[in-house]
């Protein structure tokens, strides 16, 4: 009964957390959306007033086609890049975001054949990527986590729990510095329209595999070595995912050691703990069996003899 109460509390807390996020985001973003919509409507009315030869319905059709094309990464602006979104480097970047489940959604397949291929490609690619990440994490854990903790524990006599705690803090600082702060500074220097907050936001959203797609690198016009830049970002995403998984796996090991998982995971049911094992253990088999006695008349066990 306690396990179901705990589960209901966790689900209720999760729903309240989602509701809180919705309220905060709505409060922050709704006024900005209203201002932006008002500015666009005023700009449209001003354009129609200054161009009486243009029909409003024709303008609506034109804008609709432009907006739909922009969803697929095709723009007609003069400052937009004229390079194809489906060259080898951009396609490599797209396939990496597809199988790593980042999925920015900025560049999407245009044809039905491409959409069908993405379905089958992701069916194989996503589990394959998880397999590669898991195999790499197992080996990195032995080098980055287990060996340093064992070294300080065996050679310096530090407490195992203390070493684990400080090791996790150091690992978190290293990953935060080299996979969030430093890449954010690099993206801020390369992407002219990005502030440092925009770059940090992109790195965090990408490494958490959220991939909102509002910021995508390598989409500016006449960008220096754009194809090499795209491929480099794809490798950064893969290494960043490795670092995030390494931090999560290390935290899980530290939580097990410090007993935090006992507070988060559901406890075992009491009925399961009180059950006797079905199969006999080696100890019970090795014990000398009691000598068998012949059954007397009317001595067979009945339902009344079962312990209740």
pLDDT tens digits, residue range 195-206? 999 999 999 999
CA distance 275 to 268: 12
Sign of the torsion angle spanned by Cα atoms 291, 297, 300, 305 = negative
Q: What pLDDT is recorded for position 303?
A: 40
pLDDT at 271 over 70: no
Please state which of the four CATH numbers 1.10.3720.10, 1.20.1250.20, 1.10.287.70, 3.90.580.10 is assigned to the domain occupying 84-263. 1.10.287.70
Q: What pLDDT is recorded for position 258?
A: 65
Q: Enumerate residues 6+ apart whose C-beta is below 8 A from 148.
A: 167
Q: What pLDDT is recorded for position 113?
A: 87
pLDDT tens digits, residue range 119-135? 989 999 999 999 999 88
Compare 78 and 304 and report the one with higher pLDDT: 78
Q: What pLDDT is recorded for position 291?
A: 55
80 by DSSP, 3-state: which? Answer: strand
Average pLDDT for the chain: 78
CA distance 267 to 258: 17
pLDDT tens digits, residue range 130-179? 999 988 988 888 888 888 888 887 877 777 777 888 888 999 999 999 99
Q: What pLDDT is recorded for position 162?
A: 78
Task: From residue 267, give the alpha-carbon distance in Å to each of 2, 253, 272.
Answer: 8, 18, 11
| Contact predicate 188/195, CB 8 Å | yes
Compare 11 and 255 and report the one with higher pLDDT: 11
pLDDT at 185 over 90: yes
pLDDT tens digits, residue range 15-65? 898 888 888 888 888 888 888 888 888 888 888 888 878 877 888 888 888
Q: What pLDDT is recorded for position 115?
A: 85
What torsion, rounded to 10 degrees, do the Cα atoms 218, 224, 227, 228 define?
Answer: -110
Span 208-218, mean pLDDT? 82
């Amino acid at each position: 009964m306690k396990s179901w109460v705990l589960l209901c509390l966790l689900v209720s807390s999760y729903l309240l957390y989602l509701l809180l996020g919705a309220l905060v985001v709505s409060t922050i973003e709704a006024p900005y959306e209203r201002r932006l919509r008002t500015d666009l409507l005023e700009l449209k009315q001003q354009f129609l007033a200054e161009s009486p030869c243009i029909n409003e319905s024709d303008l609506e059709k034109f804008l609709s086609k432009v907006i739909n094309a922009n969803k697929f990464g095709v723009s007609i602006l003069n400052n937009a890049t004229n390079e194809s979104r489906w060259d080898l480097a951009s396609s490599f970047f797209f396939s990496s975001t597809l199988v790593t489940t980042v999925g920015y959604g900025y560049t999407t397949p245009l044809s039905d054949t491409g959409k069908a291929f993405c379905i089958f490609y992701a069916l194989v690619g996503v589990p394959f990527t998880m397999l590669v990440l898991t195999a790499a994490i197992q080996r990195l854990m032995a080098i980055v986590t287990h060996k340093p903790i064992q070294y300080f524990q065996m050679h310096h006599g530090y407490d195992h729990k203390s070493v684990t705690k400080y090791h996790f803090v150091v690992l978190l600082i290293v990953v935060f510095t080299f996979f969030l702060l430093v890449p954010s500074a690099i993206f801020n220097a390369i992407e002219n329209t990005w502030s440092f907050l925009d770059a940090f936001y992109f790195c965090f959203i990408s490494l958490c595999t959220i991939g909102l797609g509002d910021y995508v690198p390598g989409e500016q016009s006449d960008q220096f070595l754009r194809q090499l830049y795209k491929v480099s970002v794809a490798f950064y995403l893969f290494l960043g995912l490795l670092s995030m998984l390494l931090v999560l796996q290390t935290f899980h090991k530290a939580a097990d050691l410090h007993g935090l998982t006992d507070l988060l995971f559901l406890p075992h049911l009491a009925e399961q703990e009180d059950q006797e094992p079905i199969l006999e253990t080696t100890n019970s088999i090795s014990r000398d069996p009691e000598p068998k006695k012949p059954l007397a008349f009317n001595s067979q066990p009945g339902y009344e003899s079962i312990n209740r």
